[in-house]
Amino acid sequence: MLEGAVKDKGHVSPNWDFKYDLIDGVRMKDVRNIVTKNGITRELYRPDWRTADDKKVVDGTVQHMIFVSLRGHAISAWHMHEIQTDHIYPINGLGKLVLFDGREGNKTKGKVNQFNVSPMRPTLFVIPPGVWHGLQNMDTP
């Protein structure tokens, strides 16, 4: 190892479960591909999904869903919603999702979460109101 270098902490368990210290209210669901004789099937959402600590992934109902395609190295800049919960599910390319908790009085105020995202490890991210987030395409067009 190079002098002064610091090794990154591991982010998955030996069973490949995520080991993130998440911002309060943020939830993740690791989704698996199903390989069939006809190709690959991947569920995008199910209301019965639960997190590793047995919490519902989506509390309530999904009210809004959009598809966003970012150009190579483009950034969807910092933004947050005061009422809406965002559900982010990367389906193509390689990206970086960064979250920041700026909610006054919240137990994780000031905390940052950063995720490398790809359909190679399909994951649904649930981002509650008040949490700032941005997404960057780390891939080429």
DSSP three-state, residue 131: strand
pLDDT at 127 over 80: yes
- Please state the domain extents for the chain: 27-137
pLDDT of residue 136: 93
Q: Which residues pair with 12 in a beta bridge?
A: 18
Q: Does domain 27-137 have CATH number 3.40.50.300?
A: no
pLDDT at 57 over 70: yes
Q: What CA–CA distance (Å, rounded) separates 77 from 73?
A: 12
Mode of pairing for the β-strands spanning 86-88 and 95-101: unpaired
Q: What CA–CA distance (Å, rounded) separates 50 from 140?
A: 34
User: Per-residue pLDDT averaged across 34-50, rounded?
Assistant: 89
Q: Cα torsion for 48, 29, 88, 94, to the nearest 10°?
A: -150
User: Per-residue pLDDT averaged across 82-101, rounded?
Assistant: 91
CB 9 within 8 A of CB 20: no
User: Per-residue pLDDT averaged across 109-120, rounded?
Assistant: 93
